Chain A
């Protein structure tokens, strides 16, 4: 069974703080993703990574950065948290299969509140 874990389920931070969200997967997946989920908007892709030290911007990268130093770990960084970054953050991973639609496996999510 694929396991994707996230460092915290709930987090409360103050405006201006630097915030680190960690994600770890145990299935040697090459691809990892960070999304945020907001009511009425669905999941929106922030950043993704195809490989160690590689990163690509998603739809809404502003105010975020990422780090992938090891294959199993993908970190999301909020450089200076703002109230509009209050959201549910979901990490996912997938393994590219030739000729097959990919399945993304999600972590349990981190609910972040920025005060």
Chain B
């Protein structure tokens, strides 16, 4: 079983839709959590960190449930430019980052 599991998708949604991605992790000692975004043939870039209290950045909301070892990302009012692969990343301890395989999102006009 992979340490970080994501639904690979693809998720195909119309512009303006709300879409949610889920991620589970198996190491209960994991310390910090992130969502990265990776465009086709490009490098991953940090989208947002995920905090226990949940956090929001514009149309993006990230939630963490430590008891269930579950992380989510919600995108509201999807734009065409949101089309990308979203990587769930878990930091076990200093610099020991584990990446999910990614969830692919396509937003269609």
Contact = CB atoms under 8 A, between A and B. Distances in A.
A110 to B, nearest CB: 11
Contacts, number: 47
B1 to A, nearest CB: 13
B46 interface: yes
A35 B95 CA distance: 13
A40 B97 contact: no
Contacts of A107: 43
Interface residues of A, number: 22
Interface residues of B, number: 22
Contacts of A109: 42-43
Interface stretch (B14-22, B71-79, B99-107): B99-107
Interface of A: 31, 33, 35, 40-45, 48, 50, 90, 94, 96, 101-104, 106-109
Interface of B: 2, 4, 8, 32-34, 42-46, 49, 87, 91, 94-97, 99-102
17 contacts: A42-B2, A42-B4, A42-B87, A43-B87, A43-B99, A45-B97, A90-B43, A94-B95, A101-B32, A101-B33, A101-B91, A103-B34, A104-B97, A106-B44, A107-B43, A108-B43, A109-B42
